Amino acid sequence: MMRLQKFVAVTALAACFAPTFVSADAADDAIDARRGYYQVVKHNAGMLFGMAKGDIAYDAAQAQTFADNLKALADMNTGSMWPQGSDNASKPGKTRALPVAWETYPAILEKQEAFKAASANMAANVGGGLDALLGNIGALGASCKGCHDNYRAKEF
């Protein structure tokens, strides 16, 4: 219990690797939630990436909304979406989350911190114009890639 409380106290992914028993269905539910969460992350980040590329016209108010959403998502405690037994070795074909995320925990939290910092910087600056968006988009993209390169399989 002490250990669990310590994990919960840490940060966004904190409860994630807590050694709780989870039924097969609960692991499936957690995977659904986790993947849904990242789809919402992608939706909001994708709008900002689109504005950076010029595919979507920059609009300060819209950009602010997407960045605020992203920051809220980054700050969210998603710990319960990462139970033991929800990696791609336990659930092949259902998830791309690599077992190394659990094996090396809490290393993955550094990647989450990078995502949180990049989202916060984006939210603080993006309303200031396209240049402000461009000045922060690299760090945001790098924060996604930094985690995916280590903790997400390329294929299911």
Footprint of ligand HEC on this chain (CB under 6 A)? 31, 34-35, 38-39, 41-42, 45, 95-97, 108, 111-112, 115, 140, 143-144, 147-148, 151-152
Counted residue by residue, the chain has a size of 156
Minimal CA–CA distance to 122: which of 143, 151, 147, 148? 143
Residue 84 phi, psi (nearest 5): -55, 145
**Peptide bond before residue 106 is cis, with ω within 30 degrees of 0:** yes
Least Å distance, CB 47 to ligand HEC, is 11
Q: Name the residue nearer to ligand HEC (CB basis): 58 or 111.
A: 111
> What's the closest the beta carbon of residue 26 comes to ligand HEC, in angstroms?
14
C-alpha separations of 72 from 12, 67, 104, 147, 151 in Å: 11, 9, 26, 18, 22
Nearest distance from residue 134's CB to ligand HEC, in Å? 16
The nearer residue to ligand HEC, 123 or 144, going by C-beta atoms, is: 144
- The residues with which 97 forms a beta bridge, in sequence order, are 152
Whether residue 16 contacts residue 81, with contact meaning beta carbons closer than 8 Å, is answered with: yes
Least Cβ distance, residue 97 to ligand HEC (angstroms): 4
Considering beta carbons, is residue 31 or 123 the nearer one to ligand HEC? Answer: 31
Minimum CB distance to ligand HEC smaller for 6 or for 145: 145
